[in-house]
């Protein structure tokens, strides 16, 4: 369903993000997770693109498998790093022909194995350029929906490391929306004040599209360190760190703390009329299911 129709039908969206597994075993495991999470009736699910490099075709495979084996509406991500224009066109042509309704358009980061890849080689340098290209594709009328693809983009409540100038960063976000993005999904954050402030700053900048809050419950201390690496710039509030320290290395206790913290974040976000909750599931179902139960919104 086109994202504009999704927003018309749902005052609050609930979405889950998966990454494409690299082995058949991991894929079967993911489909068990997806079956468990489908019972929660998410509004849609996302599939990441080439995160960590080398998994680009797998995104396509996973999106098509979700579409054929479940009732879930799958939104693929697309990054422009290390892609030529014909390559991008081949991907979006294929998704259009399969009736994929929406794309989350991203710049992406240079994968580690590409070393010092010069981004001048990319057909599209910034996500805004990719949004403009998808809008052009939409105008050609080659998508079964006459509006073409719905388009999402990323937002960073705590700022993006490449743009320390926070005013300029908001200009860049606005450029993506002005180019034709229908909605924003945020990077994960642990302090809701960062999200509320971001939402207000967007409003002041004239960014009026729905903003979905990205959440990732901490599952382990090791996982938290990895998160800090991947979502560079993320702030881990002292109160959260203290709660984790009190667990004294007990991994089950850390998991419970992570779920409790994320539940409280979600509860407050819902009270503050968030337009959507977007869960980075890491292909696991436990934490998301537990949060749903804690919130009293479990529908399965």
Question: Under the criterion CB under 6 A, does residue 194 sit at the interface with ligand FAD?
Answer: no
Tokens of 267: 């509860």
Number of residues forming the site for ligand FAD (CB under 6 A):
23
Question: Under the criterion CB under 6 A, does residue 67 sit at the interface with ligand FAD?
Answer: no
Distance of CA 287 to the CA centre of its chain: 17
- CA–CA distances in Å: residue 282 to residues 24, 46, 123, 198: 17, 12, 30, 25
Do residues 251 and 258 lie in contact, with contact meaning Cβ atoms separated by under 8 Å? Answer: no
| Binds ligand FAD by CB under 6 A, chosen from 51, 63, 209, 266 | 51
Question: Under the criterion CB under 6 A, does residue 163 sit at the interface with ligand FAD?
Answer: yes
Question: Under the criterion CB under 6 A, does residue 201 sit at the interface with ligand FAD?
Answer: no
| Binds ligand FAD by CB under 6 A, chosen from 30, 66, 96, 154 | 154
Question: Under the criterion CB under 6 A, does residue 77 sit at the interface with ligand FAD?
Answer: yes
Dihedral pair phi/psi, residue 47, rounded to 5°: -125, 125
Most distant CA pair in the chain, distance: 59
Question: Under the criterion CB under 6 A, does residue 106 sit at the interface with ligand FAD?
Answer: yes
- CA–CA distances in Å: residue 80 to residues 145, 168, 221, 258: 24, 21, 32, 33
Instruction: Give every CB contact of residue 104 below 8 A, 6+ residues apart in sequence.
Output: 46, 75, 76, 77, 78, 151, 152, 153, 154, 185
Question: Under the criterion CB under 6 A, does residue 177 sit at the interface with ligand FAD?
Answer: no
E-strand spans in 172-242? 183-188, 211-215
If the CB atoms of residues 233 and 298 are measured against ligand FAD, the closer one turns out to be: 233
Stretch that binds ligand FAD, among 85-93, 134-142, 157-165, 197-205 (CB under 6 A): 157-165
| Binds ligand FAD by CB under 6 A, chosen from 21, 50, 180, 217 | 50
**Active site (catalytic) residues:** 17
Q: Which residues bind ligand FAD (CB under 6 A)?
A: 48-51, 77, 79, 106-109, 126-128, 154, 160, 162-163, 169, 172, 176, 185, 187, 214
């Amino acid at each position: 369903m086109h994202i504009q129709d999704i927003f018309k039908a749902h005052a609050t969206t609930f979405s889950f993000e998966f990454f494409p597994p690299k082995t058949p075993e991991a894929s079967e495991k993911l489909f068990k997770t997806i079956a468990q999470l489908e019972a929660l009736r998410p509004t849609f699910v996302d599939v990441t693109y080439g995160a960590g490099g080398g998994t680009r075709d797998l995104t396509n495979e996973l999106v098509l498998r979700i579409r054929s084996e479940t009732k879930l509406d799958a939104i693929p991500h697309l990054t422009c790093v290390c892609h030529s224009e014909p390559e991008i066109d081949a991907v979006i042509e294929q998704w259009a022909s399969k009736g994929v309704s929406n794309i989350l358009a991203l710049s992406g980061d240079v994968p580690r194995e590409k070393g010092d890849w010069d981004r001048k080689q990319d057909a599209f340098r910034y996500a805004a350029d990719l949004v403009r290209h998808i809008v052009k594709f939409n105008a050609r009328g080659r998508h079964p929906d006459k509006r073409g693809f719905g388009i999402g983009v990323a937002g960073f409540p705590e700022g993006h490391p490449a743009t320390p100038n926070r005013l300029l960063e908001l200009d860049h976000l606005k450029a993506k929306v002005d180019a034709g993005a229908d909605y924003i999904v945020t990077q994960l954050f642990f302090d809701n004040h960062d999200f509320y402030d971001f939402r207000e700053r967007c409003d002041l900048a004239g960014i009026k599209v729905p903003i979905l809050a990205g959440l990732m419950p901490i599952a382990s201390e090791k996982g938290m360190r990895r998160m800090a690496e991947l979502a560079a710039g993320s702030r881990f509030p002292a109160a959260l760190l203290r709660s984790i320290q009190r667990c004294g290395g007990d991994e089950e206790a850390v998991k419970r703390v992570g779920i409790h913290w994320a539940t409280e974040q979600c509860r407050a976000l819902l009270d503050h009329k968030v337009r959507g909750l977007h869960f980075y599931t890491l292909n696991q179902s436990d934490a998301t299911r537990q949060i749903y139960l804690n919130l009293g919104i479990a529908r399965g």
